[in-house]
Amino acid sequence: MTGTFVEVPLPRAAGTAPAARRSAWRAVRRIAPPYLYLTPAVALLVVWTYRPLAQTFYLSLHSWNLVPTSPMREVGFANYGRLLTTPELGESVLRTLVVIAGMLPFTVLIPVVVGLLTRRVRGRAAAVYRGLVFAPMLVAPVAGAAVWQWLLDPTSGVVNRLLGSELNWINTTGTAQLVIIVITGWHVVGFAALVVSAGLTGIDPDYAAAAQVDGASKGQITRWVTLPLLSPTLAFLVLMTVLLSAQWTFPLVDTLTQGGPAGSTTNLYYLLWEYGFRSHDAGLAAAAGVIFFLGFIVLAALLASLADRLSHHDD
């Protein structure tokens, strides 16, 4: 008698599939919370940042006069060619560099001096000091511009009375840019001073104490201990100044000079605004926005890399 062997599969252990599913579900529940927390922020970033950037690039490839009933006409990269050949672009870049250079004393030098001189202020006096220093930052730029316009009035202004002159500070080519820089610096110096004060507070006092034990003077401690340890804060302020100076001046330029006199206060940001809302050339304004955005990204990356190399950290 011959028999035939038939392979019979082993019975699957009961509960293997549900156990695997429960394990996968536990893994998902363990991994998902950070991404769920990030979802609202990422969604807002996409809607309010990346989507407008994509729309700006799309608009830069078209010619449009901002009239809703007027159709957009595709022109390719012609707007970029027009922009790069306009003399106003180079002049506005130079004026922007002047603004950045003029703002650095207000965002770095003066705040460091104020922070070092007042670092020993304690108690209620410290709160009063911080409030007084930060107060100009709370003034709306347009309101501040109105006050400064009255102070700089050529006939009855306080500044001309003190100086004994009749100079038209705002409407003179040689002084208009200086006025914009000084008023903007007055607005932001309090914020920068508080940032420096926070940076000084974060420095371990044991370093200064050790240097003093070794015979270092106060000036040597400031030069060789405090300022190097403050370098990350200073690098942050320099980066903010380079990237945002022209933007900080925009409300004052629009309120006081409208880019004049003779274009002497027209920087990159105001040039972009003029292309879009005075010349009604949306394509050219969008192309300028794209180029400025890419240029500032490259500049920010270079400054951040340089700051990492030169900064000293209190580890």
Q: Output the DSSP codes for 101-150.
A: HHHHIIIIIHHHHHHHHTTT--THHHHHHHHHHHHHHHS-HHHHHHHHHH
pLDDT, residue 187, reads 92
Q: Compare 181 and 130 and report the one with higher pLDDT.
A: 181
Cα separation of the two ends of the chain: 86
Assign 162 to helix, strand or coil: helix
pLDDT, residue 110, reads 92
pLDDT in tens, 263-305: 899 999 999 999 999 889 999 999 999 999 999 899 888 988 8
Say how far apart CA 225 and CA 210 lie, in whole Å: 10
Residue 118 has pLDDT above 60, yes or no: yes
Buried b (16+ CB within 10 A) or exposed e, 188-209: bbbbbbbbbbebbeebeeebbe
pLDDT in tens, 4-63: 555 555 555 555 556 667 777 777 788 888 888 899 999 999 999 899 999 999 999 999
| Residue 292 identity | F
| Tokens coding 183 | 């008023």
DSSP E strands in the chain: the ranges are 62-63, 73-74
Beta carbons within 8 Å of 254's beta carbon, 6+ residues apart: 270, 273
The fraction of the chain above a pLDDT of 90, given in percent, is 42
Say how far apart CA 44 and CA 236 lie, in whole Å: 25
pLDDT, residue 19, reads 67
Q: What is the DSSP letter of 156?
A: T
Say how far apart CA 281 and CA 64 lie, in whole Å: 6
Residue 180 has pLDDT above 80, yes or no: yes
Assign 63 to helix, strand or coil: strand
Residue with tokens 């901002």: 66
- Band (pLDDT 50/70/90 cuts) for residue 163 is confident
Q: Is the pTM of this model over 0.85?
A: no
pLDDT, residue 197, reads 87
Beta carbons within 8 Å of 106's beta carbon, 6+ residues apart: 181, 184, 185, 186, 188, 189, 192
pLDDT in tens, 9-24: 555 555 555 666 777 7
Per mean pLDDT, which range of 107-111, 176-180, 255-259, 309-313 is the poorest? 309-313
Phi/psi of residue 73, each to 5°?
Answer: -115, 125
Say how far apart CA 274 and CA 95 lie, in whole Å: 15
pLDDT in tens, 87-110: 888 999 999 999 999 999 999 999
What is the radius of gyration, based on Cα positions, of the chain? 30
Decide which of 3.30.1540.20, 3.40.50.150, 3.40.630.30, 1.10.3720.10 is the CATH code for 78-310. Answer: 1.10.3720.10
pLDDT, residue 245, reads 92
pLDDT, residue 16, reads 56
pLDDT, residue 8, reads 54
How high is the mean pLDDT of the chain? 86
Evaluate whether 171 touches 90 at the Cβ level (below 8 Å).
no
Average pLDDT of the residues in 51-79: 91
What burial class does residue 132 get, using C-beta atoms within 10 Å of its C-beta: 0-12 exposed, 13-18 middle, 19+ buried?
Answer: exposed
DSSP 239-277: HHHHHHHHHHHHHHIIIIITT-STTTT--HHHHHHHHHH
Residue 1 has pLDDT above 80, yes or no: no
- Band (pLDDT 50/70/90 cuts) for residue 138 is confident
pLDDT, residue 315, reads 58
